[in-house]
Structures are given as C-alpha cells and as structure tokens.
Amino acid sequence: MAPEKSRPRPKPHLTSEHQGFFTREKNLQRAAYNALIVYRIKDAYRRGRYRSRTKPLMHPVHRHKIHPLMQQWDVSVNPHARNVASQHLKFYDTAIGLAIRNLHSTRGIPIPLWRDVRAQGVICSVCSCVFSCDGYTDHLSAEDVCRNWHAAQQVKNRNLPNKKTPAHTTELEESLHEEWFDSMAPTMTALLEWNSRVGIPRDVWVLVSTSEKQCLDCNLVRSLQAHEHHLVHGVCPATIL
C-alpha cells in the first residue's frame, strides 16, 4: 500500500454539475496579473520607500486619480462597481472586515493590526487570485474545488498557512472630531471582495494592500483620502488636543 502522503487525492464528483462563479474569459483575465507591477511595488514597500520621511516615493494608487487596475472598483468609471462586494458581505463584521472599514475612515487603525490583516492573504492554486483566510475557505467546495473557476478543479492544498488572526478591535479612542468614512473608495471595495469568496487578482491585491498612508503624529494608518480628512488644517488632531 502506498504511503499516505503519496496517495492521489480523489477527483471531484461535481465535474458535470460544477458552475463556476466566473466565466472562462473572466477567470483568465483575473489570473493574468501584471508580475512587473507586483515586483516593483512589493520591493518599494519592503524597502520603506513609500514611508520615507525625507524623500518618500508616491504610491501608484496615489499618483493616479484612478489607477488603471482599479477602474473596475471605481463607481465613477463603473457604476456597478460595488454590486459584487455588496452581495458577499459574509465577513463584513469580522475583525478583518472592521479593520478594512476603519482603514477607510478618519478613525484609522494601528500599524500592527494592518500588518496582521495583510498577512492573511492566501493565493488559490486554481484561479490564482488572492483571498483572506475566511474568503479562501469560503470559495472552496466540500471537495476542495475552487468554486470561482469555470471548470471543476481541486486546489493543491486546502490547509491554510499558519497565520495570526487579527484581534477584533471594536473601538479605538473616541475622536473629538466628526468621523469621516469613505464607503465608496475603490480600495475598500476591492478589499471587501478580497475578504469574501470572490477574491481579487494578485496585482490588485499588491496595490490595495500597500497603499496605506501613515500619520507620523498619531502613528495610525488610513487610506490616502481618510488620512487627508483626518487632518485639521493640515495638522493631526492628536497634536492639538
């Protein structure tokens, strides 16, 4: 008898019944990520180029009014940009879901929490998209078949890597200023899809997971728009209380 590890996994029994969430054309489009963008952004982020105090490099999402890769999630380009995300909010109120929302508000989130959220990214070996751990598990069938792919195909490994679950921070310190929340931000819409069974392409994940803006006074991170709105006449409220 062959050793346990060498036994081939049983083929899924849903081949004739399987209906992928996306069409073949859409799946191939989502899988064909821009590897050069991924490399350049990850390298700059790892080197701290976007956070430099002396000569920071502007993040690609901040350089463009609408980054080409983000047009699908921008309501000014695609009026139906939020349709998919709004239909898959199963993990909206989890620790990750709350962190995504606070990231796009003047409330902000601590750097360690954002680091834990980013570490949750899991790549599917079938559709090649990135998910949160919850989203990844939810996008698989009971037979470990990728439910997004147009043909029934099992993932290579269902077991998730050992990732630290973010603490469920319900409230940060109350602000004396009115809270602003960018519910229509393309980066937020994409992250909501990442934190669901839908997932997002690898290049989009790298864009949205590195585009945070850190306030050097309160040390919280926010989306660029949320960072600008949290400033009072260009000054962090934490320095004037």
Tell me if 55 is assigned to some domain: no
Kindly report the pTM of this predicted structure: 0.87
The mean pLDDT of 198-205, rounded to a whole number, is 98
Tell me if 218 is assigned to some domain: no
How far apart are alpha carbons 62 and 224 in whole angstroms? Answer: 7
Lowest mean pLDDT among 59-63, 85-89, 156-160, 162-166: 162-166
Token output for 214: 């850190």
Tell me if 219 is assigned to some domain: no
Tell me if 172 is assigned to some domain: no
Q: For the chain, what is the domain count? A: 1
Tell me if 96 is assigned to some domain: yes
Residues 89-116: pLDDT tens digits? 999 999 999 999 999 999 999 999 999 9
Tell me if 141 is assigned to some domain: yes
Asked whether the predicted pLDDT for residue 209 surpasses 50, the reply is yes
Asked whether the predicted pLDDT for residue 155 surpasses 90, the reply is yes
Tell me the DSSP string of the chain. Answer: ---GGGSPPPPPS-TTT---SS-HHHHHHHH---HHHHHHHHHHHHTTGGG-SSSPPPPHHHHSSS-GGGGGG-TTT-TTTTHHHHT--TTTTSHHHHHHHHHTBTT-EEHHHHHHHHTT-EE-TTT--EE-HHHHHHTB-TTSBBSSSSS--B-S--SPP--PPPP-----PPPSS---B-TT-HHHHHHHHHTSSS-B-HHHHHHHTS--EE-TTT-EEE-HHHHHHH-BTTB-GGGT-
Tell me if 241 is assigned to some domain: no
**For 237, how many CA atoms within 13 A lie in the half-sphere containing its CB?**
17
Domain around 23: 12-50+67-156+184-211
Tell me if 87 is assigned to some domain: yes
Asked whether the predicted pLDDT for residue 7 surpasses 50, the reply is no
Residues 39-91: pLDDT tens digits? 999 999 999 999 887 777 899 999 888 899 999 999 999 999 999 999 999 99
